[in-house]
Each structure stands twice: as C-alpha cells, then as structure tokens.
Structure 1
Amino acid sequence: MTAMAADTPPRPSLRERKKLRTRAAIRTATYRLAAADGWEATTVERIAAAADVSPSTVVRYFPVKEDILLTSELDPLVEARLRARPADEEPLESLRAVILDAVTAVLADEPEETRLRARLLVEVPAVRARLTETTAETGRRLADALAERTGRATDDLEVRVFTAAVLGALREATVYWAERGRRDDDLIPLLNRTVDALKDGLALRTRP
C-alpha cells in the first residue's frame, strides 16, 4: 500500500460496507465485460447480470454508465489530505502531492483496470466527455479545500480558475499517456512534468 493508507478514515458502518461491496461488484463486472467484449457491448443489463444485481441497482449507484469507470471513492480522502497539507505549502505543490499519491495508489492496486480505463478514454468519446464532468465535480471539492486553506471564499474566481487549470492539465496529461502505450512507469513522471509546466507559467519555448 502507499502513503494513502495512512489517512484511511474510520471503518464505515455495515450499511456503508454493503454499499461499497455492491459498487465494487458492479465495477468488477464492468471491467471484465468491457475487456472481453468492448464498451458498447457492455450494457447495463449485462453488467447487472454479471454483478448479480438488478439493472435498477446499477443505475441507482451509477446513473451514467461511464461513471462506473470514472468515479472514485478516493475523492473524499484526497480532499481530506489536501486540507491536512502544511499551511505554508504552495497550493500547487499541495495538489501535486495529494493527486499523485492517489494516482500512485490506483496504479498499484488496479493496474489492469487503469490501463483499460485509459484505453477506453481514448477510444470512446462518451467516456472522455464524461471525464470532463466528473473532473469538474472533483474540482469543486478540491476548490473548497483550497479556499479554506487560503482564506478565500468558496466561490472565489481565482480559486476556481486555479483548480480547474490544474485538473484540466492533469486530465490532458492522462489522455496523452493513454494515447502513447499506457506504461505504468510513464504516468507519474508525465503528471509531475505537467505540474512543472504549470509552475513555470506555461511558457512554451521553441526547442533548440
């Protein structure tokens, strides 16, 4: 396990654990079907049958099919870790630390699923379009944490622009990685390089 484990929240209730098991079963079934038959053939009905739940249960947990790939239980943990970063740390470095820790954890725990998700991100327009929406939701959570850390209002324009710019850049770096072979050891350096580009002010210089 990675450093993310050190911030594991208290054990959830029995009801919450049942919900997590159901979500996990739906995700496992979806990845298995998508890997074998492709995304279009992976219908809600087939996912439900493979996960041993009803189609309405799948829709209740994941109203949009693409959310099965793109939503994560890590978001609250990333938000909590962002709030816990040193108060004098630059916000960009705080985001780098918590997001890269989360990505490292996912790569370690779900390497095959991560590569499949990346492939579908490139091949399926609906997956890429939905990623933009789910990234916006993640951005709202992180913007709230950054606003608190910097003493700004939660609807502060600079906070929103800053958070959206960072997450948008990291999303584009992930697409870049997906288009170029999806090697596990390439993603973290690419994300670090992306944050460095933001830190340098996005100065695009001509290469010698």
Structure 2
Amino acid sequence: MGLRERKKAKTRAAIQRHALRLFREQGYAATTVDQIAEAAEISQSTFFRYFPTKEDTVLYDGLDPVLMRVFAEQPPELSPTAAIRSTMRQVFDSLAGEDWQVEQDRQRLTFEVPELRARAMSQFADGITMLAEGAAARLGRSPDDFEVRNWAGAIIGVILAAMMDRQDDGYVRLEEALSHLEAGLPL
C-alpha cells in the first residue's frame, strides 16, 4: 500500500477502535456517531467518509483480506479445510493485544445487538463467495462449482455456530468446529 492508503487504513482502524471501546463502556445503543467522532478526533463528515453507518464500525472486518492472503499462501498439499484451519491459527495467533480485543468486541457485538446480527447474516453470503473464490483458486476450479460453494457454505456455517457459542474468548470453539467439519461432521 502507498502512504495515502496506509493513512486511510490507520484512520479507519482508529475510528473502529474508539467506537468499539465506547460501545463496550456505554453500550451500543447509547453511543452516538458524534461521540465516536469526538473520541477519534475527527469530524462527523470524516466519520461518514469511512463508515456509512454506526453499524458499519462493528461490521467492517479488516481481517478478511489478511485471512484470504494467508489462505492463498498455505501449502498446496493441504486440503482447503486444513488450509483454513492453519490460516485462522496463524492470523489469530499474530494479533496483538489491542487488535485481539477489537476482534473480540466486534464479534461479541455482532451477535448481541439484534440489528447488527441481522445485517451480519446478509454478509455471510459475501463470505461464502469470498471463500469459494479462494478455494477455487487453490483447486483450479470455478468459484461457481457446486462442490466449491457447498464447501464454502459449510465453512461459514461452522464458523457461525462456533461464534454463537461464546463459551471461550480464544477461538477454541472455532478450532473445534473446523476439526469437526474436517472429520465429516460425525454426530
């Protein structure tokens, strides 16, 4: 990334961090865009250049491009599911304390706040497309191939199930869910 893109990414991350901190301290509904802008030391118009809505401060996932890049770099001998497991371990293990807190806050709010949960569900379709494209590139197949899309849907499904089961803060459930999928989802 060039300087301009790095500066924009840094500003977006700062706005999101301040928003999530305020949501944690005051509650999602009680926090206003004005308060977020003030905490991030930006104008309200700058806020809206980065995030069209307050909801978008939670739903924006800056890890997706990182996850897809790391997924593409996984050894070709790994199955797509093993490559996803390895990718998640690498990316989540590399998150610094504050970045890990941001991700945990994002996920918690997404599932606790009804309007965020509803919007997040529609984003899962985008996740299926993104994963299908990544798997198709690994496998030399079309992203529209039924089996590729079905696999991507299964990955999103087990991730969703693991995230809704908030028994831990270390994504242990995510690892268990992917392992269960890799084993064929035995019951």
Give the TM bin, normalised by the shorter chain.
Answer: 0.7 to 0.9
Q: How far apart, CA to CA, are the structure 2 residues paired with 1:115 and 1:71?
A: 13
Deviates more, 1:109-118 or 1:72-81: 109-118
Q: How far apart, CA to CA, are the structure 2 residues paired with 1:113 and 1:120?
A: 11
108 and 158 in structure 1: CA distance in 2 versus 1, 3 angstrom threshold: farther
Aligned to 2:136: 147
Q: How far apart, CA to CA, are the structure 1 residues paired with 2:99 and 2:66?
A: 17
CA contact (8 A) 1:121 1:175 kept: no
Q: How far apart, CA to CA, are the structure 2 residues paired with 1:109 and 1:190?
A: 21
165 and 69 in structure 1: CA distance in 2 versus 1, 3 angstrom threshold: same
Aligned to 1:191: 174
**Matching residue within 24, 27, 32 for 2:16:** 27
39 and 32 in structure 1: CA distance in 2 versus 1, 3 angstrom threshold: same
Cα deviation, residue 107, structure 1:
6.8
Alignment pair present for 1:202 and 2:172: no
**Matching residue within 159, 169, 175 for 1:170:** 159
What does the per-residue CA deviation read over 1:130-155, in whole Å, with 9 as the maximum and x for residues that have no partner? 32233333332222121111121122
What does the per-residue CA deviation read over 1:175-199, in whole Å, with 9 as the maximum and x for residues that have no partner? 202xx3x433xx2x31121012112
105 and 125 in structure 1: CA distance in 2 versus 1, 3 angstrom threshold: farther
164 and 56 in structure 1: CA distance in 2 versus 1, 3 angstrom threshold: farther
Q: How far apart, CA to CA, are the structure 2 residues paired with 1:34 and 1:122?
A: 14
Give structure 1 stretches of 5+ with no counterpart. Answer: 1-11
Count the aligned residue pairs.
187
**Matching residue within 51, 68, 76 for 1:87:** 76
Alignment pair present for 1:45 and 2:38: no
CA contact (8 A) 1:100 1:191 kept: no
Q: How far apart, CA to CA, are the structure 1 residues paired with 2:39 and 2:27?
A: 15
Q: Which runs of 4+ in 1 moved over 4 A?
A: none
Cα deviation, residue 36, structure 1:
1.7
Alignment pair present for 1:56 and 2:39: no
Q: CA RMSD in A?
A: 2.2
Cα deviation, residue 109, structure 1:
4.3
Alignment pair present for 1:127 and 2:110: no
Q: How far apart, CA to CA, are the structure 2 residues paired with 1:100 and 1:170?
A: 13
Cα deviation, residue 40, structure 1:
0.6
Deviates more, 1:13-22 or 1:130-139: 130-139
CA contact (8 A) 1:106 1:114 kept: no
CA contact (8 A) 1:147 1:159 kept: yes
CA contact (8 A) 2:37 2:44 kept: yes
CA contact (8 A) 2:14 2:40 kept: yes
